[in-house]
Amino acid sequence: MANNTLTQPVPEGLAERAALLGSATETLTEDQARSFIAEQLAGYDFDDKNVCVVIPDGTRSGPHGLMIQAAYDAIADRASKITILIALGTHADMSVEAIEKLVEAPLDRFPKAEFVNHDWHNPDAIATLGTVPAEEIERLTKGLLTDRPMDVQINKLCAEADVNLVIGPVFPHEVVGFSGGNKYFFPGCSVHDVIDISHWVGALITASDIIGTLGITPVRQLIDTASDMIPAEKMAITYVATTGDDHSTNLHTVAFGDTKSAWAANAKVAAQTHIKYVDAPYPRIVSKVPEMYEDLWTGAKGVYKMEPVCADGGEIIVYAPHITEISEMHPGIGTIGYHCIEYFTKQWDKFKDHPWGEIAHSTHVRGLGSYDPETGVETLRCRITLASQVPPEVCEHYNLGYANPDELPWEEFAADPETLIVEHAGEILHRLASDRPE
């Protein structure tokens, strides 16, 4: 599993600093969650404060509406100002209709709040907090980067608030180990330097190695260091929820604390609920990607979370008939295509000036492999086939396989014990039982 030489244990007592309701084996009711959030926020000083509530975008599953509504209700009569900032990272803006679907209510249900998309393209919306020197980056990354400082920039709304309240789920994540907590600031509300450096460090470790790592990974170290530079108080409501076979949401836990402790409390839970161990790898995996992933940039979670259990020489079919493009927001992926990490590191002079976040995404999708610079031959561990509305010639250009989504042999797949079909792919990480931590 994880490269433990690069990952530090979660500090003793950190998770226990947060208040936690529920467990990995429980299912909470909405009333239980609302009461817990109301009680916890009642004990925190939001009075006359400018509060920036940082929430996920539509690419994260979970009972977001319940959590956001409960938090708003708990502080609406106390805070002097409430801004609800959508942590897009570099995803596309959400429309009013999409936001209302996310929060499960019309926006006028939140009369005191202003909803804002993180405006990552706009320099006027960004505050510069300082620079982490190259020497510190080298220390934090255990030598993976040695000559690159990191400019720390974030949405001004976070920098100028009295309190930042992060509300979001915790999942296994291909860049940081487990998502949540300070990750909602960096990359959620930041711009390219922190995004590029953190994602590149994750790529150097490899998504297969870092995803589902329960500990303080080098990437978590980077984003925690950047978050420490935010002058505002930083609190979080984190939660762990799974999707049932009937597409219902099962809420297991809710935590409240500072952004580090609330993350740590629910990372421990997500390690139990969101990692499925299988005895042997599968030669073929069909990832059925839900419609909340609108392109391959976001829908690639159907690859990340399945690649660890794909057999050598096997195939992952990303079944996403609703997807029509690779990435509108990141056309630079079309320049480089999808390749393994060695393809880039062994030709670094050729690629070093390309946005590192896009290179990292490329390697996450394509998975493990090797590249021989003398012959120009790239050998990839498994095949990635896209079954979507993206035409075959585009798939070939990006170094992906193509399948017609209307012609997949579902009966054959279902009858084949060596084919794994995954519903709602992108949520549960699959790993081999031999990789289970002791």
pLDDT band at 1 (very low <50, low <70, confident <90, very high): very low
pLDDT band at 60 (very low <50, low <70, confident <90, very high): confident
pLDDT band at 4 (very low <50, low <70, confident <90, very high): low
Specify whether 265 is located in the same domain as 317.
no
The domain boundary, picked from 243, 275, 307, lies at 275
> What pLDDT was estimated at residue 31?
98
> What pLDDT was estimated at residue 245?
73
Question: pLDDT per residue over 63-116, tens digit each?
Answer: 999 999 999 999 999 999 999 999 998 778 999 999 999 999 999 999 999 999
Strands (E), 200-274: 233-243, 249-258
Read off the CATH number of the domain in which 165 is found.
3.40.50.11440
Question: In this model, does residue 5 exceed pLDDT 90?
Answer: no
**Structural domain harbouring 307:** 279-435
pLDDT band at 438 (very low <50, low <70, confident <90, very high): confident
> What pLDDT was estimated at residue 272?
97
Query: Does 370 reside within a domain?
Result: yes
Q: Are 181 and 259 contacting, i.e. CB atoms less than 8 angstroms apart?
A: yes
Query: Average model confidence (pLDDT) for the chain?
Result: 95
Query: Does 2 reside within a domain?
Result: no
> What pLDDT was estimated at residue 243?
85
Specify whether 297 is located in the same domain as 200.
no
Specify whether 32 is located in the same domain as 92.
yes
Q: How large is the average pLDDT for residues 410-429? A: 96
Q: How large is the average pLDDT for residues 410-424? A: 97
Query: Does 7 reside within a domain?
Result: no
Specify whether 168 is located in the same domain as 315.
no
Specify whether 427 is located in the same domain as 401.
yes
Which SS3 state, helix, strand or coil, does residue 206 take? coil
Query: Does 5 reside within a domain?
Result: no
The count of domains in the chain is 2
Specify whether 298 is located in the same domain as 232.
no
Specify whether 236 is located in the same domain as 253.
yes
Question: pLDDT per residue over 237-276, tens digit each?
Answer: 999 999 877 778 899 999 999 999 999 999 999 999 999 9
Q: How large is the average pLDDT for residues 318-334? A: 93
Question: In this model, does residue 2 exceed pLDDT 70?
Answer: no
Query: Does 361 reside within a domain?
Result: yes
Specify whether 219 is located in the same domain as 289.
no
Cα–Cα distance, 33 to 47 (Å, whole number):
22
Question: pLDDT per residue over 390-399, tens digit each?
Answer: 999 999 999 9
The domain boundary, picked from 275, 309, 336, lies at 275
Specify whether 361 is located in the same domain as 240.
no
Specify whether 169 is located in the same domain as 293.
no
The domain boundary, picked from 212, 241, 275, lies at 275
Query: Does 231 reside within a domain?
Result: yes
Read off the CATH number of the domain in which 346 is found.
3.90.226.30
Residue 293 tokens read as 């992933």
Specify whether 247 is located in the same domain as 383.
no
Q: How large is the average pLDDT for residues 352-374? A: 95
- Range 22-28, long-range pairs (CB < 8 A, 24+ positions): 22/251, 22/252, 22/253, 22/254, 22/269, 23/252, 23/253, 23/269, 24/240, 24/252, 24/253, 24/269, 24/272, 24/273, 25/252, 26/252, 26/253, 27/250, 27/251, 27/252, 28/251, 28/252, 28/253, 28/254
Query: Does 146 reside within a domain?
Result: yes
> What pLDDT was estimated at residue 350?
97
Cα–Cα distance, 27 to 129 (Å, whole number):
41
Specify whether 215 is located in the same domain as 289.
no
